[in-house]
Amino acid sequence: MIFDLIANRRSVFPPQFINKPIAKETLEKILEAANWAPTHKKTEPWRFKVLTSAEKKAELGKFLSDKYQEVDPKPKQVTIKKLQDNPERSAAVIAICMQRDPKESLPEWEEVAAVGMAVQNMWLCCAELGIGAYWSSPGLIKFMDEYFDFNEGEKCLGFFYMGYFEGDLQEGQRSPIENKVTWLG
């Protein structure tokens, strides 16, 4: 049931992933689910760049760790290692991108929200398929135009790290919805 799937979806981080590839057909199915997210004025702003080869994931990790060391005056070794290792530990890394409507016919936040809904569709599919996933939005995403060839108006909003994992996940916790709702009659 969809309610259970939503309540049981969790972030699963790259160190938890096992060395097992995700079939291209499975990735295509997950991306197709993203394509059915709601979109105001049918702008469909989501764009995805999928990295699955060891070479491409290693290149991304190197770019991120090198860029971090270039822009941070006091880079931390643990962060350098994490930026380098996370792509390589993942079966797939999807760069989550947004293509801004060239006419700017709606506020940018609506385009960002549509991309977020597309990612939620992917995340729920991953949960259903037993694939772990994690959306990371490091400050380095503002430099991704140095790595990817973007169209005009396109930008990166983060990375969706994916991989199979073993073991149980922590039980989710949320404060009661009653604390967040005001009924007006």
CATH number of the domain residue 99 falls in: 3.40.109.10
Mean pLDDT of the chain: 96
Q: For residues 82 and 59, give the distance between their C-alpha atoms in angstroms, rounded to a whole number.
A: 14
Beta bridge partners of 47: 97
pLDDT at 170 over 90: no
List pLDDT tens digits, range 7-43: 999 999 999 999 999 999 999 999 999 999 999 999 9
Per-residue pLDDT, 9? 94
Question: Is residue 157 a part of any domain in this protein?
Answer: yes
Percent of the chain scoring above 90 in pLDDT: 95
List pLDDT tens digits, range 42-74: 999 999 999 999 999 999 999 999 999 999 999
Q: Is 136 annotated as a binding residue?
A: yes
pLDDT at 167 over 90: no
Name the band, by pLDDT with cuts 50, 70 and 90, for residue 128.
Answer: very high
Q: For residues 43 and 102, give the distance between their C-alpha atoms in angstroms, rounded to a whole number.
A: 10
Residue 157 in contact with residue 144, Cβ under 8 Å?
no
Range of the domain at 29: 2-180
Question: Is residue 185 a part of any domain in this protein?
Answer: no
Question: Is residue 171 a part of any domain in this protein?
Answer: yes
Question: Is residue 176 a part of any domain in this protein?
Answer: yes
Q: Is 137 annotated as a binding residue?
A: yes
Work out the average pLDDT over 93-106. Answer: 95
Q: What is the pTM of this model?
A: 0.95
Name the band, by pLDDT with cuts 50, 70 and 90, for residue 124.
Answer: very high
Question: Is residue 117 a part of any domain in this protein?
Answer: yes
Q: For residues 87 and 62, give the distance between their C-alpha atoms in angstroms, rounded to a whole number.
A: 9
Q: Is 10 annotated as a binding residue?
A: yes
pLDDT at 1 over 90: no
Query: How many domains would you assign to the chain?
Result: 1
Question: Is residue 51 a part of any domain in this protein?
Answer: yes
Question: Is residue 126 a part of any domain in this protein?
Answer: yes
